[in-house]
Chains A and B, each alone.
Chain A
């Protein structure tokens, strides 16, 4: 049952991810990305990380992607034309992607050499209380620095978007 759900949603995630690139309409791409986020949340849920799964949906699918879709709709962006790609990109695209993937796997394996296989529902310690405790004790400084960074970004956005005052 778990394996079936995993295969199903992993498949959906991959299909949606490919679809993000293949679709020519921005809205269709954005919604495919929502599909990727949703499938990832289900995969987290299968591993037993309920809080992270819900945070994934609320933050990415529910907030960020809604804003994306909103902006695309507001600009009323139409279907994009498919332009020919440069021969360099056509030749090097796939090998470069495979190389990047290999590098990622290599470093992940180097960092955690004795990690076993993940088991369904085996993840412990991702509850809201523990995440909060970690954020406000061990990672307090990075957390606060990130908050200030976001605050600066918000203020900057408002300053840029504001009408010019005479």
Chain B
């Protein structure tokens, strides 16, 4: 009973936060790309376009869902749901912090709690394999969408996506296997826990720094393969706009169209979280608490708040007089919460985890704004002739050194 209630609460919380993140990730993406290209980006709906995701969602829900007459109805409708389903399963096993304890509550004569729960929905002891399994199943959503649409552009998109995901899964798996040799466990929480602590007192024992063989090459291979697995530029061949219109989702409209976008962004968040857990030490801070890593979060939020208040007092646009002080107060509140001793052990791991995931997501968007798309034969040649041998060599060297020193 207790377990069910706690799980239900966690489920609701994670789902709400995650769905909001997905919606706002698109806002962030549009803003970042706009600023890279010296534009403003969305700025009409709400202050700084902050209500744009809400407007997009309302638009997509209220649009008419067109069911083209020439499609295979069952698979056409099943494909987007399959894609979203597989993308969301992966999120349920990602740990994003240590444990949280809710102190005992006394209501009348009965006492509830104290409850201690881990910050994740499910602790699976083969977590990383489950992620691989789910990501390899995710290809069905896209391939089926392309095939069921009964349209030559979407069929080519679906075929490309199957071929691309099968090819890039190999270097991805090999890149994951290398840090696992050092960690010696398949549980995501276990992997992050093996990266706690510091070498020489200040270098974090993250997998990308860890001896005997720093996993920096695995990290780079993993990130490259992750771009291909999530169909992002420079590997977004399945939906290449200028040759395939929109690839596998040409025939989709309204919510089914939105489902593919949701799946893509959810996959992005998943691979960034996995990269953080495997290579960047999960929620371990960048430098020891002894040197004040706990103070960086309140400091960042305090400075952000101060900047907002300053610009609110010297407004460049009329609305800034109202909106910026509000953001300033929110940032000050967050800074206070992060410096408040009882909440520090709960919030600090979450802060570091989200900071790393956020940085990797920014890299994804940054690369989208920077690189052009690959040609199809270059994409395949790169996977099989370069990435796969390099990943194999990296795994061999890692295995050899781990066997030698342990």
A interface residues with partner B (beta carbon < 8 Å) = 27-28, 31, 34, 50-51, 53-55, 57-58, 61-63, 66-67, 69-70, 73-74, 76, 128
B21 at interface by CB-CB < 8 Å: no
A34 to B146, CA, bound (A): 18
Cβ-neighbour of A51 out of B126, B137, B146, B163 (below 8 A): B126
* Interface pair A73/B133, CB less than 8 Å apart: no
Q: List 22 A-B contacts (CB under 8 A).
A: A27-B147, A28-B75, A31-B75, A31-B144, A50-B125, A50-B126, A50-B129, A51-B126, A53-B126, A54-B126, A57-B133, A58-B132, A62-B136, A62-B169, A63-B169, A66-B136, A67-B166, A69-B162, A73-B146, A73-B159, A76-B155, A128-B186
Min distance, Cβ B134 to any Cβ of chain A, angstroms:
8
Min distance, Cβ A67 to any Cβ of chain B, angstroms:
7
Q: How large is the interface on B (under 10, 10 to 19, 20 to 34, 35 or more residues)?
A: 20 to 34
* Interface pair B166/A63, CB less than 8 Å apart: yes
B130 at interface by CB-CB < 8 Å: yes
A70 to B139, CA, bound (A): 10
Q: Which residues of A contact B147 (CB under 8 A)?
A: 27, 73
* Interface pair A66/B162, CB less than 8 Å apart: yes
Given that A58-B132, A58-B133 are contacting pairs, would A66 and B139 also be in contact in the complex, using a CB cutoff of 8 Å?
yes
Given that A50-B124, A66-B143 are contacting pairs, would A61 and B137 also be in contact in the complex, using a CB cutoff of 8 Å?
yes
A61 to B136, CA, bound (A): 8
- Interface positions of B from 137 to 172, Cβ below 8 Å from A: 137, 139-140, 143-144, 146-147, 155, 158-159, 162-163, 165-166, 169
* Interface pair B129/A62, CB less than 8 Å apart: no
A83 to B137, CA, bound (A): 33
A75 to B162, CA, bound (A): 14
**Known contacts A51-B129, A61-B136, A73-B158; 11 further A-B pairs (Cβ under 8 A):** A27-B147, A34-B140, A54-B132, A58-B129, A62-B133, A62-B136, A66-B143, A70-B162, A70-B166, A73-B155, A73-B159
